[in-house]
Amino acid sequence: MRIAIVTDEISRDPLTAIELGREWGVEWFELRMLLGKRFPDVDDGLLHRVRALLGDLGGRISATSPGFFKTPVTDAGVRDILKGDFPRALELTRQLGADRMIVFAFLRPEGDRREAEPPGAVGDLVAEMAEQAASAGVLCLLENEAICYGDTGLRAEALIRAVGHANLRLNWDPGNSVHAGSRCPYPDEYVQVRDLVAHVHVKDMAFSGEKLVTVAPGDGIIDWRGQLAALDADGYDGFVTVETHFGPKVTASRRSVAWVKARLAELAPPDAGGSARVRRLRTR
């Protein structure tokens, strides 16, 4: 497994975020917000500076997260985005050296029951996203998100399996699943979604009174030690991406990165000869 972090969890300025992340030993960075604008609606000059700094410091982009589609499926602009901003985001993702992009399964209307089946148009449009991404050589990652269809891991799993596209996989976010009402994303949900997981976001959740708040990994209700161990046992070799979501940003992100790095180190102890353990990865 490879550790990554979302740049804007460290700083709104991606250049500052990359510099600090590299000081902490992080090689991989996920792009989402850059100077207050969401990828890909950013200045080309800024992306050029990001690429140059990554080259200078030995960093790389793990994935991009443009925010498509946290809008109602009935929004009149969806079709225009699929013809314009969406393919542009795919092209820029490849230009940045990444091969995966995170998407969402449309905003669930207020008052709509969480367990309600998504409209057929949701599956059709998610399939179109996956197909466009496949043509661009980019893996389409559906993130389970509390305000969207596919909010928990299980409902995201059901949608992905219903769509049935080979280029559509799960960006597994246990924290979002808790926010959507799940109290045991690992192991209860993970055992059913494990074969779909191609990307992971790491944050933890805890109750402050009756309110859910984001806390450092290991300090909340998610069994992250167990989840990381299960990913390791399953041969997962993708990214585990810190998505801090609490502050102060730099301190919280540095602490979260250190915790995840320590857990990953525990999963791969050196053998008696000092070489790293080698595991035959499970064929998915």
The one-digit pLDDT tens for each residue of the chain (284 residues) are: 999 999 999 999 999 999 999 999 999 999 999 999 999 999 999 999 999 999 999 999 999 999 999 999 999 999 999 999 999 999 999 999 999 999 999 999 987 878 788 999 999 999 999 999 999 999 999 999 999 999 999 999 999 999 999 999 999 999 999 999 999 999 999 999 999 999 999 999 999 999 999 999 999 999 999 999 999 999 999 999 999 999 999 999 999 999 999 999 999 866 644 444 434 333 33
What global pTM score does this model have? 0.94
pLDDT at 277 (0 to 100): 40
Structure tokens at 261: 């790095």
Distance of CA 170 to the CA centre of its chain: 9
Contacts for 191 with CB less than 8 Å, ≥ 6 apart: none
Contact between 167 and 143 under an 8 Å Cβ cutoff? The reply is no
pLDDT at 271 (0 to 100): 62
Give the separation between CA 283 and CA 280, rounded to whole angstroms.
Answer: 9
pLDDT at 111 (0 to 100): 75
Numbers of helices and strands, H then E, in the chain: 10, 14
Contact between 174 and 227 under an 8 Å Cβ cutoff? The reply is yes
CATH match for 2-267 among 3.10.270.10, 3.40.50.720, 3.20.20.150, 1.10.10.10:
3.20.20.150
Q: Which residues pair with 170 in a beta bridge?
A: 142, 197
**What number of CA atoms fall less than 13 Å from residue 213's CA on the CB side?**
10
Which DSSP category does 13 fall into?
Answer: S
Give the separation between CA 244 and CA 249, rounded to whole angstroms.
Answer: 8
pLDDT at 110 (0 to 100): 84
Give the separation between CA 235 and CA 1, rounded to whole angstroms.
Answer: 9
Alpha helices in the chain (DSSP H): 14-23, 44-57, 78-83, 85-95, 120-135, 153-163, 174-179, 190-193, 224-233, 249-267
Structure tokens at 44: 């080309």
Give the separation between CA 67 and CA 40, rounded to whole angstroms.
Answer: 9
Give the separation between CA 191 and CA 119, rounded to whole angstroms.
Answer: 26
